Structure 1
Amino acid sequence: MNNVAKNIRHLRKIKKLTQEQLSEELGITRSKVGSYEEGRSDPPIEMLVNFSNYFKLPIDVLIKNDLTYASDTSFIEIGNQRVLFPITVDSDNEDLIEVVPVKASAGYLLGYNDPEYIEQLDKIKLPFLPTGKHRAFPIKGDSMLPMKDGSYVVAQYIEDVRDVKNGTSYIVVTLNDGMTYKRVYNKIEESESLLLVPDNKNYDAYEVPLSEVLEVWEYTCSINTQEYDERDLKISSIALMLNQLGVELKELKKMVS
């Protein structure tokens, strides 16, 4: 249980507790805490349950994962437990961003709350991002022009879906449709749902019941993986302008016909 020793020590320090204070919280001796932290003895299953309840982490996370990369206790709650979801940092104490690869994006629905899946994702560093938990997601299709297929959206995790801001673009992970990038409108009060609207008017908007929403990530920046040519820029700029003005292309056609 090599991870357990360093995890207990690290989590205690995050909470700014001394060994004496942690021992009092758990109802054991300070020497027991020291023994567990130094790896001189392994906690019995009853003690692992106590650590799990106190730190609000599943036992398998305490045993299997190296939590020393977490700079704080920013974990996502799943029921009354928490699945590992730390803001990871590098050796220079700078935040790292997990990158969901295109080939593995279909598996994100299965692995989004699996600490081992998240831990094995490649990571990048973007120092200009605001504080918060960020992740990079691959974009498929052309429903959000001018974002091209194959680009990446770097987005910040939103803890409460009710904080969604109307007209802002988000990565939304849903139970039935998986991962999608759309402009979102909050319909929670009216119909307990989110309205997902593509910028490309060739695609229809649709509502997703709140019960099917697993994660919501707010757009922070994008990374293009291919260069725009001049024609792309002209078309996308015109489309964006029309969308902002609320002018439908079919109405424009009526005016010139």
Structure 2
Amino acid sequence: MLYISDNLKWLRNKRNLSQQEVADGMKLPVDRYKKYEYGKNVPPAETLLLISRYYHISIDLLLTIDLRKISIDNLLQLEDNRIVLPITVDQNGDNLIEIIPHKARAGYLTGYADAEFIENLQQISLPFLGPGKMRAFPIGGDSMPPHTDSTFIVGKYIENLGEIKKDKTYILITLSEGITYKRLHSKNAEAVLVEPDNIVYSPYEIKLSDILEIWEYVAHIGRDDSKQQSPEPESVKEMFLELKRDIYDLKTQYSK
């Protein structure tokens, strides 16, 4: 369900603005703006960008979250006062990597912007990955070999679509597919063309308005499929802890 029309009306009323004033502020014809607010049309990607910049709220929140039911002031804000998704930090203020287990995969679309949902996920810190917001996602299918159903992809949150680059791989959270992991072939003002690494499958387009989140691949963790097909949260966390210990041992070895 898209909440864009309800959110437009609520945001405008919160500022005590008329439809004409909002349309002028966005440099849109007022008749076109009214159709968005009345729910007759869904704004295209370029208009969503205008709305996002006008209200300083991310597109994913405008589309998928009923802003009337949350406290915007409690969400994380960036330098330009733009609101983004909730994240978790450790006692030192460093970002933690939340692990989305297989069981929580189906609920991610409704929980990704819910602070309580995020806080209840297993977490791990992997400082060697460098700065940025990271999250680990389970992937499925055989479209991106050598990754399998037991692989977790660690992604770095991409805030600006302009940062995505051809031939790099990304985890895309979309309204139509949920969690999908693919390689970027090309992009335009309306959509991105993604392709699986398995040549059996064909490239396909994803509309920008369908994308909720984009995470750039930074690492992956896999398990022996013969031992476990769908790791539970505790075993997934142990995978990351084991990786962290191995890297620490390597650093210690080479520092001698």
User: Same fold judged by TM-score > 0.5?
Assistant: yes
- Structure 2 unaligned blocks of 5 or more: 1-54, 59-66, 227-256
CA distance in 2, matches of 1:62, 1:178: 24
Question: Once the two structures are superposed, what CA deviation does each residue of 1:125-168 show, in whole Å capped at 9, x if it has no partner?
Answer: 11211201010000111110011221100000000123210010
> Between Structure 1 and Structure 2, how many residues are aligned?
164
Q: Distance in 2 between matches of 1:166 and 1:184?
A: 5
Provide, for residues 1-21 of structure 1, a one-character-per-residue CA deviation record: whole Å limited to 9, x for no partner. Answer: xxxxxxxxxxxxxxxxxxxxx
Q: Which amino acid aligns with 2:86?
A: F
Higher Cα Rg, which structure = 1
Q: Percent identity?
A: 45
Shift of 1:91: 2.8
Alignment of 1:22-37 (within 5 A): none
Structure 2: distance between partners of 1:140 and 1:201: 16
Alpha-carbon spacing, 1:115–1:89, altered in 2? closer, same or farther (3 Å): closer
Aligned to 1:163: 163
Task: Pick 1 or 2: higher relative contact order, CA cutoff 8 A, min separation 6.
Answer: 2
1:154 maps to 2:146: no
Gaps of 5+ in 1: 1-52, 229-257
Structure 2 equivalent of residue 95 of structure 1: 95
Q: Secondary structure at 1:82's aligned position in 2?
A: coil
Q: RMSD value over aligned CA atoms?
A: 3.3
Contact 1:188 1:210 in 2 (8 A): no
Q: Give the Cα separation in 2 of the matches to 1:61 and 1:223.
A: 36
The CA deviation at 1:60 is: 4.2
Aligned mates of 1:196, 1:206 — CA distance in 2: 6
Aligned match of 1:216: 214
Q: Normalising by the residue count of structure 2, what TM-score does the alignment of the two structures yield?
A: 0.56
Distance change (3 Å), C-alpha of 1:131 and 1:74: farther
Match of 1:234 in 2: none
CA contact (8 A) 2:136 2:155 kept: yes
Question: Matched residues in 2 for 1:211 and 1:84: separation?
Answer: 17
Distance 1:167 1:117 in 2: 32
